[in-house]
Structure 1
Amino acid sequence: MPKVSDAHRAARRHEIATAALRCFARKGFAATSMSDIIAESGLSAGAIYGHYKSKDELITLAITEVLDLRLGELESAREQTPMPAPGEIVRIVMSGMQGELGSLSILVQIWAHAAVEPAVGATLAKVGDRVKGIFHDYLRAWYLKELKLPADDAERAAQLYSGLYVGIVQGFIVQSSIFTHFDSEAYLEAASSILPVAGPGAAQLSPADLSR
């Protein structure tokens, strides 16, 4: 039997995860069963369980893979001159996640499930740490490149503000899922206007200064 390549396995896992996300969007997380996911994917039960042991594992790993796809976009942003302001990264992350997940309400459903399932909560906490790490790394690079802060100051500022940006992302997800008249563009514009300045003289910088 020919050996299955890592690329093939990754493609199959993504195929299964995408099928699961379609089911969750259509039926809701709690109402979706593994049988639903198997039927949606068109694969055998053995093929599904060969990659994911349970629905809980499937959704948490699927979200992790979605985040991995966003990392490439953020790496590209870090290579731009000037780098996009940190608030623009919120737009990049949210646009990418909406494209992959379809409905961000899936995340709210999963958070509710995690609140009563400790194992799922522990896994999602790791996902949250990864999101915070994404913003930390970007902020640190932005402080170094755009604000010319010393490395130690850039690191401290990145640690200070990275959690704030996780909150901005979570706020977008919750409000877009719950509020009927949520204005996503206004929210993203507001996020883009926030400049997490730090260090001597940085407080005097404005969005217009950084766009010059």
Structure 2
Amino acid sequence: MDHVATRRAAKAETIVLACLRCIARDGYAATSMASIAREAGIDKRLVAYYHGSREHLLDRVVRHVADQLITKLRQAIAGIDDPHEIARIGFNRIWESLTTDRALLVAWLGIKAEAISNPELQEGARYLNDGFRDVIREAWATIESRGFRARMSMERMTLMIVASIQGLVMEWLAYGDTPELAETLVDFQTWIASFAQPAAESPISP
């Protein structure tokens, strides 16, 4: 990549990060091209120059958020192949990593909520969900190689884990670190570990 292309990519990334901060601070609806430009410290016309429409920029932000979250998840469970250690050590790493970046979480949940009624954001939201599912499937394939199997179908298990993490994150964003949340996180880890059983036991439930 030549010098001009490198500068262009850096400026485009600066605008993406400015948009992310605006969404986290002001919400999706209040994030305009003008507010993004102010946050980035540039002329409004440059936002359109680098990213075209607001919708295209927001799609880039969705994918940026997705890549960040998926990377955090992969790093948290890297090298762990025991289901109980993934539930205990891996989840602790995931939770610590997620809760150190409040802006990223607020943007993630805000965009997911907006994607329900905005078709232009739905593809990006699916990109994030698919990434989460891929990581869980990869981790489970490693667990199965150790002689375990899931107590339910992969799709059901993945949906339950992803939906539960989203709910726990929303609780943390709203109320912070409470004793009730701490106890729930421990219960959640026990619940995740219970999904695994030795392969010789009963078949997967439908």
Contact map agreement 1:70 1:96 (CA 8 A) in 2: no
Q: Distance in 2 between matches of 1:91 and 1:187?
A: 13
Cα deviation, residue 178, structure 1: 4.5
Q: Distance in 2 between matches of 1:72 and 1:116?
A: 27
* In the alignment, structure 1 residue 188 sits paired with structure 2 residue 185: yes
Normalised to the residue count of structure 2, the TM-score between the two structures is 0.71
Change (3 A) 1:70 1:60: same
Change (3 A) 1:86 1:12: farther
Q: Distance in 1 between matches of 2:177 and 2:3?
A: 53
Matches within 5 A, 1:141-160: 141-144=142-145, 147-149=146-148, 158-160=154-156
Contact map agreement 2:33 2:54 (CA 8 A) in 1: yes
Identity %: 16
Give me the CA root mean square deviation.
3.5
* In the alignment, structure 1 residue 15 sits paired with structure 2 residue 14: yes
Matches within 5 A, 1:131-150: 131-144=132-145, 147-149=146-148
- How big is each residue's C-alpha offset from its partner over 1:79-122, in whole Å with a ceiling of 9 and x where there is no partner? 25768414654444444344345263433432332222122223
* Secondary structure at the counterpart of residue 39 of structure 1: helix
Change (3 A) 1:68 1:117: closer
Q: Distance in 2 between matches of 1:189 and 1:64?
A: 31
**Structure 2 residue runs without a partner (length 5+):** none
Matches within 5 A, 1:51-200: 51-73=50-72, 74-75=74-75, 77-80=77-80, 84-86=85-87, 88-102=89-103, 104-144=105-145, 147-149=146-148, 158-178=154-174, 183-194=180-191, 195=193, 196-200=195-199
Write the letter of the residue equivalent to 1:186. Answer: E
Change (3 A) 1:53 1:187: farther
Change (3 A) 1:89 1:82: closer
1:206 counterpart residue number:
none
Contact map agreement 2:62 2:124 (CA 8 A) in 1: no
Instruction: After superposing the two structures, state which structure 1 stretch, 21-30 or 157-166, moved more.
Output: 157-166
Change (3 A) 1:4 1:57: same
Contact map agreement 2:24 2:103 (CA 8 A) in 1: yes
Normalised to the residue count of structure 1, the TM-score between the two structures is 0.70
Number of residue pairs matched? 195
**Structure 1 residue runs without a partner (length 5+):** 204-212
Change (3 A) 1:168 1:199: same
Contact map agreement 1:14 1:62 (CA 8 A) in 2: no
2:27 counterpart residue number:
28
